[in-house]
Amino acid sequence: MRPKAARKKAGEVKDKIAEGIDPGVEKKAARAAALVPANDLVEVVAKQFVSHYAKRQLKASTARDVERILDKEIVDLWRGRRLSMISRADVHGLLDDIVDRGSPISANRTRSWAHRMGSWAIERGLIDANPFAGIKAPAAETPRDRVLSDDELKAVWQAADALEPVYAGLIKLLILTGQRRCEVSELGWQEIDLDARLWTLPAARAKNSIEHSIPLPDAAVEILKARQRIAGSDLVFTLTGRNPIRGTQTVKRRIDALMPPDIQPWVLHDIRRTVASGMARLGVNLPVIEKLLNHVSGSFAGIVGVYQRHSFADEKRAAMTEWSRHVEQLARGEAAI
């Protein structure tokens, strides 16, 4: 050791002794800590949390979202670090960076799932304190009420025509059926009966865990018939046959680039609200709309939901047919309601 470095080291030792710290004891503790297996490495904890909690106790689609969020936002940044050594400052820095790149809601979701992962790690004895505890959501969330106008919906439909068929089909099926994005993007051929023009969403994929029957209008059937099936794959919207298409935000940005520049900001989920609102304007009764969207609140909340067993099959098909006719008229440039 060079004289200057040696003097600096000696000075540090003296300072510690002056503070009542025994350097020898500190060295032994450091060596002992180095010998302890790092069971709380961030990537190890995240993998175990997804495997032993998310995939066992959450819906498959939710579990995939959790895995994606943790891998992208937590593991990629902190790989090799111990969860027990993550500080509150580290957490705030992580969330601030996500907000700064324009994704405040993603920051909220990251905080929420990371907090749950930390609590799970405490239960498993992997850490003693949750680094995400006491951290508030970085962004305020208010219920969205954005509804696309007929002109905007027409613009989205026409923009979809410029996309690859797999993405165009996804966007158009969202518009025609009003179902949730993940329910459409993960659609399986075994759920579809083209002859009966019926889509049966299994309880395992439904958000409320209730099997849901969606009558398919002719336009939706034609879209599905045009899809090229990949041998050995049950997925309708897929590029590889192994996984459903991802990156819908990239698709959304491509659609935005093809739409008039003065359109107010919107998200794909606004299409679902637009379908509900549009059906109401067409005169469809609220209970029928709620059945089509697979809602169990509203008209079917509480005791009503227990005893109301009418399927509304005929009413749902009539409403879907009327809505599809309206969308096709918009796409052709005909007068809207």
C-alpha distances (whole Å) from 226 to each of 189, 194, 223, 317, 326 are 13, 12, 5, 22, 22
Task: Report CA 192 to chain centroid distance, whole Å.
Answer: 24
Q: In what order do the strands lie in the sheet with 198-201?
A: 192-193, 198-201, 212-215
Structural domains of the chain in order of their starting residue, each with its CATH number = 42-123 (1.10.150), 150-331 (1.10.443.10)
Q: At what angle do helices 23-35 and 3-18 cross, to 10 degrees?
A: 100
Residue 122: pLDDT band with limits 50, 70, 90? very high
Residue 27: pLDDT band with limits 50, 70, 90? low
Strands 198-201 and 192-193: antiparallel
CB 156 within 8 A of CB 271: yes
pLDDT (tens digit per residue) in 176-203:
999 999 899 999 999 999 999 999 999 8
CB 279 within 8 A of CB 292: yes
Q: What are the backbone angles phi and psi of residue 87, rounded to the nearest 5°?
A: -100, 165
How many C-beta atoms lie closer than 10 Å to residue 156's C-beta? 25
pLDDT (tens digit per residue) in 84-112:
999 999 999 999 999 888 788 889 999 99
- Which residues have CB under 8 Å from 308's CB, separation 6+? 300
Q: Does residue 336 have a pLDDT over 70?
A: no
What's residue 333's pLDDT? Answer: 86
Q: What are the backbone angles phi and psi of residue 208, rounded to the nearest 5°?
A: -95, 10
Pick the closest to residue 251 from 155, 166, 183, 175 (CA basis).
166
Q: What are the backbone angles phi and psi of residue 38, rounded to the nearest 5°?
A: -80, 75
Instruction: Return the half-sphere exposure (C-beta side, CA atoms, 13 A cut-off) of residue 63.
Output: 16
Indicate left, alpha or beta for 151 from its phi (over 0: left) and psi (-120 to 50: alpha): alpha
Q: What are the backbone angles phi and psi of residue 113, rounded to the nearest 5°?
A: -75, -35
pTM comes to 0.66
What's residue 232's pLDDT? Answer: 93
Rounded CA gap, 243 and 205, in Å? 15
Residue 141 in 3-state DSSP? coil
Q: Does residue 69 have a pLDDT over 50?
A: yes
Q: What is the dihedral of CA 212, 213, 214, 220, to 10 degrees?
A: 120
**Angle at CA of residue 102, ends 176 and 180, nearest 5°:** 20
CB 36 within 8 A of CB 126: no
